[in-house]
Homo-oligomer: A and B are copies of this chain.
Amino acid sequence: MVTRVQVTSVVDAIATDLRAAVLGGELGPGASLTEAEVAGRYEVARATAKAAIERLVAEAVLERSTNRTARVVRLGPADVRDIYLSRAFLEAEVLRRLARAGTPVPEAAHEANAEIRRRWEASSFDVVEPDMRFHSSLVDAVDNVRTSRMYRSLTSEVRLCMAQVQGRQLLSPATIVAEHERILDHVQAGRGDAAAELLDEHLARARELLVGALGGQPGPEATLPSSVLPA
C-alpha cells in the first residue's frame, strides 16, 4: 500500500498558520501584515514571507495593492451578498443535476447533518464546520474537480465571514437541520427544482442574517415571502 506524505514548504506552513490566525479571529479585519513583520515573527527571509502573503492574497484572505501593505480583508454586506449568491448559483445547479442523474445522496451529507443535530442537542451552537461539510459533500457528489475547487474558494470566504461576526448567533441549528433534511429528500426523490428553490431560501435567510450581523441593511427581498424570492 502506498502512503502519501504531505511535503509542506516553509511558505506553505506560514500561509497555513496565517490563514488559521485570520479565520480564528486573532487577526481582525483590516489588520495590517507587513512583510518584515511576518518574516520576523516566523524567523524567515522576507522573500519567504512575501510569498506566503501573496498566496493569501490570491486566496482572498488578505488584500493588497501595489506598494501597499497587505491587510486582512474586511467583508461588507455587498461582499456577503455576492458570496452567498454565487454559492446559490453553484449549489442550486448541483442539486438539480444530482436529482436528475438520480445520484444517491452522499452518505457524508447525512452524516454532516447528523453531526449538526448532535451538537445542537449537546447545546453547542458552533455548527459551522459540519454545516460547511454538508454543503461541500453535496457539491463534491457531482464529482467535478473544477466545480469542487470553485466551491472550496467560496467556503473559504464564508469562513472568513463567520470569523468576522465572531459567534454572533445566526440561523438556529434546529432550522438548519430541518431544512437540510428537506433538501436531501427533494434530491433523493428527483425533485431538482424543489430542492434548488428550497436551497435558495435557505441561503437567502442565512445571508440576510449575516448581512444584519455585519451592520448592513436587509435587502429588499428580505421582507417578501420566500416563495417570491428573486433569483
Q: Residues on A close to B: CB < 8 A? A: 7, 9, 47, 51, 54, 58, 66, 82-83, 85-86, 89-90, 92-94, 96-97, 100-101, 142, 144-147, 150, 153-154, 157, 230-231
* Contact indicator B66/A147 (Cβ below 8 Å): no
A-B contact list, 7 entries, CB within 8 Å: A7-B66, A47-B47, A86-B147, A89-B144, A89-B147, A90-B90, A92-B93
Nearest CB of B to A117, in Å: 30
Given A51-B51, A86-B147, 12 more A-B residue pairs with CB atoms under 8 Å apart are A47-B47, A58-B58, A82-B145, A86-B144, A86-B150, A90-B90, A90-B93, A92-B93, A93-B93, A97-B231, A100-B230, A101-B230
Contacts of A89 in B (CB 8 A): 90, 93-94, 97, 142, 144, 147
* Contact indicator A147/B231 (Cβ below 8 Å): no
Contacts of A47 in B (CB 8 A): 47
* Contact indicator A231/B90 (Cβ below 8 Å): no
Contacts of A153 in B (CB 8 A): 150
> With the chains together, A169 CA to B157 CA distance in Å?
40
* Contact indicator A82/B144 (Cβ below 8 Å): yes
Among A90, A93, A144, find the residue whose CB has the most chain B CB atoms closer than 10 A. A93
> With the chains together, A89 CA to B148 CA distance in Å?
12
Nearest CB of B to A96, in Å: 7
Contacts of A85 in B (CB 8 A): 142, 144, 146-147
> With the chains together, A227 CA to B166 CA distance in Å?
49
